[in-house]
Chain A
Amino acid sequence: MLVLAVIIFAAYMLWALANLKTPNPRPAYYVGELQSAELIHVARLYWSNPNLSMSFLLDKLYGYNETLRLHIKPVTYVNNWALTASGGFYETRYNNSVRFYARWEYVKIGSYKKILEGGIVKLYYNYSLTYIHNYTAPQWGSFILYPRLWDPLDLADLTYKGDGLWYVGVPADVSEYIIYDEFSIKVVVRNE
């Protein structure tokens, strides 16, 4: 009888426990990848149009700390860029180890003649060009992107070979030719 009583008591206690609401702590908010991604986005938008100054964009971003609870701490940054005879880069480095870096390198691999509209024959130089974006942040390390390239004038010949490698044909009669990536960042090719 005592065993039966204990079994019934135990079963009842288990049933009562199962129906209790157990504590379920949840984070009030999470600060991590999203905040770093917002900074990368700001840098990328800046390099697509430097007339939008970094301080303007960052101020706007901080404004969303209130409305969207973004929890982005104020940061400082350093911008660098360079154009060389064989490539170039754009870089934004924040003081919290977040970094935007876009780089391209090219080498001339040949030339060809192209027949344009109206029967005009033009000499083109062909380049093998590598274009990458590298976004680094403490949360994910390194994030590599191979943005698409395009030419708004539709004069350049762009062939994507994979892994950021492009064959780019540009008119030979200009000192430099500007193509754009999918974020509207300029990629400058200087004819040798």
Chain B
Amino acid sequence: MRALEAFAIAFVFVVFTAYAHTLLILTPESGNQYTSSRALAYLLLISDSLPYTPGFRDRVAEVIPDLVFVEVNGQKFYYSNSSEVDSIGAVWLGCNGTFSPREVVIGVKP
């Protein structure tokens, strides 16, 4: 009986240790900051004129995961709520030979 009890205790301890270890593993990063930064870079590479068009915000929403807001030259548009937000900024200095900066800031969930 004692041996059975000892075995049961040991079994419970092993299960506990395994579960505790799993829970203690750091929550993996979503990587949203990297993904969103790359997506902004892609938009910058494929077009100089995108932020000057009305469809820019929708285009950003298509390529950026977990988007919270898009801000263009101070005008902010929200797409979702989040208590924590990572901001990534980019600038389009102009297009078609014209210097006309557009500051773009996107907020994504961490």
Contact = CB atoms under 8 A, between A and B. Distances in A.
A joins B in a complex: yes
Interface of A: 2-3, 6-7, 10, 13-14, 17-18, 20, 22-27, 30, 32-34, 36-38, 40-42, 44-45, 48-49, 52, 56-57, 60-61, 64, 67-70, 135, 143, 145, 183-184
Contacts of A143: 45
Contacts of B13: 6, 10
Contacts of A32: 34, 37-38, 41
Contacts of B20: 13-14, 17
Interface in B57-110: 86, 88-99, 101, 103, 105, 110
Interface of B: 5, 8-9, 12-13, 15-16, 19-20, 23-24, 26-27, 29, 33-34, 37-38, 40-42, 44-46, 48, 86, 88-99, 101, 103, 105, 110
B5 A3 contact: yes
A67 B23 CA distance: 40
A37 B41 contact: yes
Nearest to A20: B23
Among A6, A34, A42, which residue has the most Cβ atoms of chain B within 10 A?
A34
A184 B100 CA distance: 15
